[in-house]
């Protein structure tokens, strides 16, 4: 440590026992390496790992383990989401979906934390919703919000989302739904 005398209250500054204890502790260990590790692995979201990211996840309100729908089905309940299939390609929806758990890697979870943090402070304008999409799907392809007018929005994707991405889009609560707005999803072809 540096200048440990500043850490002692003035009423104990002349105590030989306290001064000796603090001087011995100061010689025994240097907490600066521990403080740097704590900052890098927990506090700094850009470099956090494992437990540090789990803490950040609890702060912003997302979980590392996602529940995925394992089977694609044909039905009418999910007609406006990204899991619908056409006739002769999937079985009828039976009312219960098979789910599996998927644990996000540190990099994927960090990206989800950033997107959820943006969602927590968004004003739900098209510009801010597009910023969330760009954060969540960086390098995946184009994703944007389309204002349809009449209090409806469409989240559009120029790529086919994976099962994990569909879970992030529809179940993780990352993409906000403005109050009173009808929300749909669409996969558009590449131009």
125-175 pLDDT tens trace: 889 888 888 888 888 888 899 888 889 988 888 888 877 777 777 777 778
Global pTM reads 0.65
Average pLDDT over residues 22-32: 79
CA distance 36 to 52: 13
Residue that wins the pLDDT comparison between 98 and 162? 162
Domain that holds residue 135: 51-187
For 84, which DSSP code?
B
Does residue 85 share a domain with residue 22? Answer: no
Half-sphere exposure (Cβ direction) of 99: Cα atoms closer than 13 Å: 12
Does residue 86 share a domain with residue 152? Answer: yes
Does residue 108 share a domain with residue 165? Answer: yes
Does residue 123 share a domain with residue 63? Answer: yes
Residue 5 has pLDDT above 50, yes or no: yes
Does residue 140 share a domain with residue 115? Answer: yes
Number of domains forming the structure of the chain: 2
Q: How sure is the predictor about 74, in pLDDT bands with cuts at 50, 70 and 90?
A: low
Does residue 78 share a domain with residue 61? Answer: yes
The long-range contacts involving 176-183, CB below 8 angstroms and separated by at least 24 positions, are 176/119, 176/122, 176/124, 176/129, 176/132, 178/124, 178/153, 179/124, 180/151, 181/151, 181/152, 181/153, 182/151, 182/152, 182/153, 183/80, 183/152, 183/153, 183/154, 183/155
Does residue 57 share a domain with residue 37? Answer: no
Does residue 33 share a domain with residue 102? Answer: no
Q: Which of 71-75, 102-106, 115-119, 177-181 has the lowest mean pLDDT?
A: 71-75
Residue 10 in any domain: the answer is no
Can you read off the two tokens belonging to residue 58?
Answer: 């609890």
Does residue 114 share a domain with residue 32? Answer: no
Residue 90 in any domain: the answer is yes
Residue 116 in any domain: the answer is yes
Q: How sure is the predictor about 191, in pLDDT bands with cuts at 50, 70 and 90?
A: very low
């Amino acid at each position: 440590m540096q200048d440990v005398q500043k850490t002692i209250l003035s009423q104990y500054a002349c105590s030989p026992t306290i001064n000796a204890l603090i001087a011995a502790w100061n010689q025994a260990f240097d907490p600066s390496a521990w403080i740097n590790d704590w900052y890098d692995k927990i506090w700094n979201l850009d470099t956090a790992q494992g437990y540090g990211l789990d803490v950040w996840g609890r702060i912003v309100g997302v979980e590392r383990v996602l529940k995925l729908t394992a089977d694609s089905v044909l039905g009418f309940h999910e007609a406006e989401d990204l899991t619908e299939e056409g006739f002769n390609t999937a079985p009828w929806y039976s009312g219960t979906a098979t789910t599996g758990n998927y644990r996000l890697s540190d990099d994927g979870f960090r990206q989800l934390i950033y997107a959820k943090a943006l969602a927590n402070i968004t004003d739900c304008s098209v510009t801010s919703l597009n910023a969330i999409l760009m954060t969540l799907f960086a390098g995946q392809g184009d994703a944007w919000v389309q204002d349809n007018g009449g209090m409806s929005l469409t989240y559009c994707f120029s790529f086919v989302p994976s099962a994990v991405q569909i879970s992030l889009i529809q179940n993780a609560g990352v993409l906000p739904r403005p109050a009173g707005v009808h929300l749909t999803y669409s996969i558009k072809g590449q131009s």
